[in-house]
């Protein structure tokens, strides 16, 4: 299949239908935008996906305003002494500090759950200078990756302050990029170097799923895919988040992935549109030319930084949705045969990452990520639901690939090909999941006394753990579990060489 006409894809469009359409599709099929026939035994899978996406859409506005209210309230409390009593005291004395969104002191909901920002491995025993060796498998590198993944949820000024003043590294820039799934500048990332001159390491960190962003959760639960011949099937929502196509015009995926790709995001998206009518309908949804896509920005900036820092290698990281984009970025580099840049790839570390494609995609990428040493590590904590999405069974096409570093609730690491209970839902796992959530609540209440103040959990985090008694897979997705896994887990038995 080497032509646009022979490409295969399935696109789920829940917003285009109503309950009548769902009922008709359940009985007759043919309710998706698709270039392939969907097998009968997979019809229910798409039906469930549509129902979940519609449910998320119903709650999208309440989720948004809940998130805004929670962000403001938590920052108001933290800026005024950290308790309601101190807030009341400041109010009575007309001394209340109001939070300013986007400032160095404004912290995201993720940051409120876990206030840690410092790296664990910063100095040598002999000298008070920043200490970091870009060595794959080094705990300092793993700690940098998870802390960068957590930091990506914050605003640019907050991130710059932490990177430059707390980590003593060089903040390159923060980017808001066009997301074709959400039709807004919602794909976010930042880039840093370990030092401003003669850097050894360049790090790209993608922001993950926002807790109250319905569009982010919709991406995780979407079933749509696009097939690249001889490469494999890739999750369409993640392709759109990188700016590599638009499901309203499936031909754009062909243009960006199989046709000739250009660095001009607008021209590359518009290429391959055949009719004037298509041109006009698509133009209204195409971002202005200055609104670049994440793939364009990262590839262009990385090329510039690698030319500037001749001995540097780069690493890509992210939590949740950010982890999916982190592994998808080098995948598309290989598709575009950017082999010179791939030679500079030190590694990919993802945390709580959803599946991005099928088994063929894994086989396509493994030669580029396993030699001469493993470069791709997928870290999974216990009952985290997101690495179990989308489903991996006989009806779903999605498969994980790469090394899985699995940590149980005691932060004991196991190097496996697949995490236990790979599809999460199942009667035989329900009891153990809820019992484990009870244990995690007890551990959260006592951990600060056992492991030290660094691991003490505040009232907001304890509240999330209580909610986790009913929804254990979602509370287990918190970046706190991944920070603790890296810092408290047993040393990795995998041997990896340094640069």
The residues annotated with a catalytic role in the active site are: 320, 384, 477
E strand or H helix that includes residue 283: helix 276-283
Using alpha carbons only, how large is the chain's radius of gyration in Å?
23
DSSP output for 173-242? EEEEEEETTTTEEEEEEEEEESSSSS-SEEEEEE----TT-HHHHHHHH---EEEETTTEEEEHHHHHHH
CA distances from 402 to 356, 373, 384, 391, 431 (A): 12, 12, 18, 17, 30
* Strand order, beta sheet including 33-34: 33-34, 8-11, 225-228, 232-235
Can you list the alpha helix ranges (DSSP code H) found in 390-458?
427-451
E strand or H helix that includes residue 415: strand 413-416
Listed in sequence order, the residues at least 6 apart from 62 whose beta carbon sits closer than 8 Å to its beta carbon are none
How far is Cα 399 from Cα 491, in angstroms, rounded to an integer? Answer: 27
Determine whether 453 is exposed, middle or buried from the number of CB atoms within 10 Å of its CB (0-12, 13-18, 19+).
Answer: exposed
Strands (E), 345-394: 345-351, 376-381
E strand or H helix that includes residue 405: strand 403-407
**Pairing state between β 376-381 and 345-351:** parallel
């Amino acid at each position: 299949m080497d032509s646009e006409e022979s490409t295969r894809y399935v696109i789920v469009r829940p917003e285009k239908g109503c309950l009548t359409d769902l009922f008709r599709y359940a009985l007759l099929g043919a309710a998706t935008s698709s270039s392939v026939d969907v097998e009968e035994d997979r019809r229910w899978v798409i039906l469930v996906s549509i129902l979940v996406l519609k449910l998320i859409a119903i709650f999208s506005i309440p989720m948004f305003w809940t998130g805004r209210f929670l962000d403001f309230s938590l920052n108001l409390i933290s800026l005024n002494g950290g308790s309601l009593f101190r807030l009341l005291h400041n109010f009575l004395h007309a001394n209340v500090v109001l939070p300013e969104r986007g400032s160095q002191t404004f912290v995201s909901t993720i940051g409120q759950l876990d206030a840690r920002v410092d790296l664990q491995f910063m100095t040598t025993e002999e000298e008070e200078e920043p200490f970091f060796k870009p060595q794959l498998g080094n705990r300092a590198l793993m700690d940098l990756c998870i802390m960068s993944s957590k930091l990506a949820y914050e605003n640019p000024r907050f991130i710059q302050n932490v990177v430059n003043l707390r980590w003593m590294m060089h903040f390159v820039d923060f980017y808001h990029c066009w997301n074709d799934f959400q039709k807004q500048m919602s794909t976010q990332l930042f880039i840093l170097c370990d030092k401003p001159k003669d850097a050894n390491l360049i790090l790209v960190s993608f922001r993950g799923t926002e807790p109250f962003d319905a569009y982010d959760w919709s991406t995780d639960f979407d079933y749509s895919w696009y097939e690249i011949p001889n490469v494999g099937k890739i999750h369409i929502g993640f392709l759109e988040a990188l700016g590599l196509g638009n499901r309203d015009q499936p031909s754009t995926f062909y243009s960006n992935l199989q046709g000739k790709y250009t660095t001009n995001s607008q021209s590359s998206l518009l290429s391959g549109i055949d009719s004037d009518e298509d041109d006009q309908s698509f133009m209204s949804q195409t971002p202005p030319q200055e609104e670049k896509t994440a793939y364009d920005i990262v590839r262009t900036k990385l090329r510039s930084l690698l030319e500037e820092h001749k001995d540097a290698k780069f690493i890509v990281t992210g939590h949740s949705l950010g982890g999916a984009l982190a592994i998808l970025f080098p995948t598309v580099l290989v598709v575009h045969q950017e082999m010179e840049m791939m030679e500079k790839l030190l590694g990919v570390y993802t945390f709580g990452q959803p599946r991005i494609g099928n088994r063929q995609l894994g086989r396509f990428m493994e030669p580029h990520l396993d030699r001469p040493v493993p470069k791709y590590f997928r870290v999974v904590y216990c009952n985290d639901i997101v690495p179990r999405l989308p489903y991996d069974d006989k009806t779903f096409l999605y498969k994980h690939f790469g090394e899985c570093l699995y940590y149980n609730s005691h932060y004991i690491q196991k190097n496996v090909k697949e995490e236990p209970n790979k599809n999460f839902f199942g009667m035989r796992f329900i009891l153990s999941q809820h019992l484990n959530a009870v244990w995690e609540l007890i551990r959260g209440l006592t951990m600060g006394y056992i492991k030290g103040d660094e691991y003490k959990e505040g009232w907001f985090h304890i509240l999330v753990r209580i909610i986790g008694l009913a929804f254990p897979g979602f509370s287990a997705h918190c970046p706190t579990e991944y920070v603790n896994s890296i810092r408290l887990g047993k040393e990795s038995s995998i041997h990896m060489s340094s640069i």
